[in-house]
Amino acid sequence: MSYQTPRGTYDIMPEDTGKWLEMEQLIRDVCRLYRYREIRTPIFEDTSVFKRENDSSDMVNKEMYTFAMGDESYTLRPEGTAGVIRSFDQHKLYGASELPSRLYYLGPMFRHERPQKGRQRQFTQFGIESIGAKSPEIDAEAIALGIEIVRRMGISSVKVCINTLGDDASRQAYREALKAYFTPHISSLCPDCHRRLEQNPLRILDCKADAQNPILHEAPRLSDYLNEESRTYFQKVLDTLDALGIPYEIDDRLVRGLDYYTHTVFEVKSTRPDSGAQATIFAGGRYDHLVEYFGGPELSGMGFAIGLERLISLAQDEGWTPKESSDAEVYVMSVGDTGTKPLEIGTQLRNEGIVADVNLLPRSMKAQFKSADRSNARVIIIVGEEELKTGAVNVKDKTTNTQTTVALEQLSETVKEILKK
């Protein structure tokens, strides 16, 4: 029997892990510049962390991996924010001397959805959460952080789509207007929208099945239901983006797929024609009630998430290549009975920061040279039985195709000089 990865999962092979490591380090470097610190939460949580009361999102209602252990129900995390807020409250990070707490996470998430390019059932997500303070400038800074990551990955074909959901009062007025509008038309909408009408009619605007239905396009506009406080807040976000030189488009149909958002919501999308349905690079928004929901004080938060599979795919489409190489710098081979000396030499070079491959098999010189070629090593050290008697080895510089005999005491210095050229 031949075993395969489960549908919607995949292996990252050794020739690709270098790209992932470099991307992850790039992300960590940007977070450090913005003074965000990493938080690591469990891969599974109590189901109630994600399945909150009257949640209308597809993620909660259709996509979660939930399992029972005795009387307990657990869920593989489908997104990062809820676990971070749960941890923020559990460990009373709101008692810090200075808020907001700037946190980021990076790791696997799980959603049972139809696999397609850039979207898998197990996927890797990076996200930030700025928790404990509320200001338009914090919202704009979060977008700027994400844009910086995208820029450093070499992705230039992007646009920022942004909207506001307003405060509680504005959103409640809009919900009532939508419910009154959609109720007489509900029979022409998909079954999921029937549920959304009662739970959260804003989610009907985000329906994929009815995206082209004219009923959605003729629905009331949220902007008509914003109070003055919500309008002022959103305008300050836009003004800050202008000051930072970040262009944007206002999309008054943008509501995002999770129910906890308030005020600012946004999506940063690829404008490449071949990005298709997977155009969104990262997305997020502000949330005013999650901290309180998990037992903490009434504090606001702001965050976004990036699917790293999609990020690396778009970056490679635009020509991004990692700087790191898995090639060897030095290849150590042996001739005759040299005992453990080749491995001793390789270990010494590695201890000095030189990437060394060592032949550890009884092979011919021809086979060893072929192996050295495959390693792409620039320097070949030939450890010969006769040369060792005089305390020396042969060193070949593949760039100049020259070979010299070098005393063991001078070997490291000689290799470093060749590699510097």
> Does residue 380 fall inside a structural domain?
yes
pLDDT higher than 70, residue 275: no
Let me know whether 154 and 43 are in one domain. yes
* CA gap 415, 293 in Å, rounded: 61
For the record, the structure tokens of 203 come out as 């989610």
Is 350 within the bounds of a domain? yes
Question: How do residues 221-269 score in pLDDT, each as one tens digit?
Answer: 888 889 999 999 999 999 999 999 999 999 988 876 566 788 999 999 9
Give yes or no for a contact between 161 and 147, defined as CB atoms under 8 angstroms apart: no
Residues 256 and 304 in one domain: yes
Would the pLDDT of 326 be above 90?
A: no
Q: Which residue has the higher pLDDT, 176 or 395?
A: 395
The pLDDT score that the predictor gives to residue 104 is 98
Instruction: Tell me the CATH number at 342.
Output: 3.40.50.800
For the CA atoms of the chain, what is the radius of gyration? 28
pLDDT digits (tens, 9 = 90+) for 179-225: 888 888 888 888 878 888 877 787 787 777 777 788 878 888 888 88
* Tens digits of residue pLDDT in 49-66: 998 766 666 677 779 999
For residues 105 and 235, state if they share a domain: yes
Assess whether 311 and 334 both reside in one domain. Answer: no
Do 103 and 36 meet the contact criterion of CB atoms below 8 Å apart? yes
Domain end call among 317, 350, 372? 317
Q: Are residues 341 and 410 in the same domain?
A: yes
Cα–Cα distances in Å, from 327 out to 104, 347, 361, 379?
32, 17, 20, 12
Q: Is residue 203 part of a domain?
A: no
144 assigned to some structural domain = yes
User: Residue 84: which CATH number?
Assistant: 3.30.930.10
> Which pLDDT score, from 0 to 100, does residue 258 have?
60
CA distances (Å), origin 3, targets 10, 41, 123, 150, 260 = 13, 31, 21, 36, 40
Alpha-carbon distance of 210 to 214, in angstroms, equals 9
**CA 269/CA 276 separation, integer angstroms:** 11
In a domain, 215, yes or no: no
Residues 235 and 339 in one domain: no
In whole numbers, what is the pLDDT of the chain averaged over residues?
Answer: 91
For residue 23, what are the domain limits?
A: 14-167+227-317
Which of 108-122, 279-293, 298-312, 380-394 bottoms out in mean pLDDT, i.e. has the lowest? Answer: 108-122
Is the residue at 209 inside a domain?
no
What span, in angstroms and rounded, lies between the C-alpha atoms of 131 and 239?
22
The pLDDT confidence band at residue 324, using thresholds 50, 70 and 90, is: confident
Which residue, 261, 291, 317, sits at the end of a domain? 317
Q: What pLDDT is stored for residue 259 in this prediction?
A: 64
Co-location of 356 and 394 in the same domain: yes
Average pLDDT value for residue range 395-414: 95
Q: How many domains does the chain have?
A: 2
Identify whether residues 241 and 115 lie together within a single domain: yes
263 and 394 both lie in a single domain: no
Q: What percent of the chain stands above pLDDT 90?
A: 70
Tell me: the pLDDT tens digits for 129-175? 999 999 999 999 999 999 999 999 999 889 999 999 999 898 888 88
pLDDT at position 188 is: 82
The dihedral through the CA atoms of 237, 268, 150, 242 has a sign that is negative
On whether both 271 and 415 belong to a single domain, the answer is no
User: Tell me, what's the pLDDT at 55?
Assistant: 65
Same-domain pairing of 131 and 83: yes
State residue 353's pLDDT score: 94
Residue 278 lies in a domain: yes
Q: What is the pTM of this model?
A: 0.86
Report pLDDT for 153.
95
Q: Are residues 69 and 147 in the same domain?
A: yes
Model pLDDT, residue 295:
93
pLDDT in tens, 78-89: 999 999 999 999
Note whether residue 182 is domain-resident.
no
Q: What is the pLDDT of residues 66-77, one digit of tens each?
A: 999 999 999 999
